[in-house]
Structure 1
Amino acid sequence: MNRRDLLKAAAALPLAHTALSNPAFAQAPFPSRNITMIVPFPPGGQADLAARPTAQALERILGKPVIVDNRAGGGGGSVGNAQAARAEPDGYTLLMTLSSLAVLPEADRLFDRPVSYEVAQFAPVARVLADPTLLAVPASAPWKTLQDFVDDAKKRPGQIPYGSSGPYGTLHVAMEMFAASAGIKLLHVPFRGAGPALTALLSGTVQALASAPGTLKQQVDDGKMRVLANWGAERVASFPDLPTFREFGYKDVEFYIWAGLFAQSNLPAPIMTRLREAMAQAVRAPEVVKTFETAGSPIAYQDAPEFSKFVAEDSARLVAAVKKIGKVE
């Protein structure tokens, strides 16, 4: 190398050092492009209800488009969950999913199937909703009370069809918990998500459904269906006259269909902090609060530390329930 080349190389060294040491050069501010929020179900269910107003608020707060991507497939959201788990941990692929996140890997193990993802691959960002599921039937159904339903199911084991968002999804587990406690056998009819299952109930294809208050309220108000019981420990504000399963004597029947935002577990800390801050603003936005309250599903926000603890505790309870239920189709 001649003298001129040496001088050029030496002059470039400070600039190279600056580029490596200065974050402004090393990494563009987050976000610098569109964000995808995966919803592992079709439109119309609890996760979709949580995602759309939240995404709109995040778009305004972060200054970049936040695109809701419904990636239905597999049982109970497994395909979308797995796609989010495999995404780059850069904050540009997020997941709005339900409590079935923890159930599905356990179901895979129960049936000796390859596990498509593990809960440990995700980092909770914020909880948005946390509602007990409600037992709904068509308005034309003969059952006026929960006891009517149970009595009929005992007379006709395996003949009353109920819909779900897929095997071992939130709606399936809730119904099987109830059926096991009541000593009845129902006919499980899985769909690709809660939206199609709700449509099937309205059309009469199925005769029962466990779903969140926010996805049922308008249909009940319009006289298209009725609700018979509430899986929560307490009555819900949007259905104050609806008794809980506990009130009916089913002490071990309790289930919540929460919706929360997740990123990948190895997401850089500064990006996680930015997302947490943005979500704290988003769930307090007046238009978001109004949307959820109108749907009968008020915000149940938790920041990442509280949500992480909640997910761990709820997941342990649900995994135990799946093991108790065992192999069901």
Structure 2
Amino acid sequence: MGFKIAVAGATGNVGREMLNILEERGFPADEVVPLASRRSLGTEVSYGDRTLKVKVLDTYDFSGTDICLMSAGGAVSKEWSPRIGKQGCVVIDNSSAWRYDADVPLIVPEVNADAIDGFTKKNIIANPNCSTAQLVVALKPLHDAATIRRVVVSTYQSVSGAGKEGMDELFEQTRAVFVADPIEAKTFTKRIAFNVIPHIDLFMEDGSTKEEWKMVAETKKMLDPKIKLTATCVRVPVFIGHSEAVNIEFEKPITADEAREILREAPGCLIVDKREDGGYVTPLESAGEDATYISRIREDSTLDNGLNLWVVSDNLRKGAALNTVQIAEILVARGLITPKKQAA
């Protein structure tokens, strides 16, 4: 007997990717129900070789549903996830609404799978920010080996992190450049075509942006509260795939060769690190792939016990949809939930 799965926000970039990944990975679902707002009622989405019609989130009865993969935005999740959880359906939420709640586990399966046990307090599990997810996959095995003191990370984040609107804006502005049409910035604060913008999310009192704060808070919650982290998050004119330049200071000595071998064996990591032209991964190669790619591993001569890394991942997959499905797989594999139909 399989599970009944709902995907809320099924018409968005991440929701559609969730449906793809559920089917790709053979998740044991007897029924998958796509949900969205009223304006999307009747819209068709793909699930493998099947076409599903979208239902309305507001009127859907979750009492017979086992897991809801939530990708409908923070405001919707804040309102609906507790209601859904009270109906006995486990919510795995992709927004930032629940990540910092002490009663909600924040999970990257390769990093802190055991923390999932706390989900029963609210029946909600949080998925981290896309830029944090790929970062902690790379940091975790190195932290276990040599204990990380401090991380300095600069991100190069694709426009798909801002949703379909961000992707459309890059496409439209790029076209406008070539045909000499007027260029209008709607989704982003400045023109994104052939430009980079050092601003993602809202500014905070200390001058950092909320995206940068998220990376700090989420790394501490999932990996180690003692780690000091500072981030600069930049939007770049790339459609899919986030990249990160990461500088790490360790308590214990660790060489580039040692780090390379540790990461080769680490779950979720794929090393492409040849010191030659093209011997590294770019966002273009990461698109559509599940792995967190790590390149440019080298020692930092300005630090005792310092390393530099280049980390790339498909933000729609590992940064969002794949990680969400992996969390659902843990619930099933560990017997933390059983299908309601079977239980009845």
Same fold (TM over 0.5): no
> TM-score under structure 1 normalisation?
0.32
> TM-score under structure 2 normalisation?
0.31
Structure of higher CA gyration radius: 1
Relative contact order: is structure 1 or structure 2 higher (C-alpha 8 Å, sep ≥ 6)? 1
Identify the structure with the greater strand proportion.
2
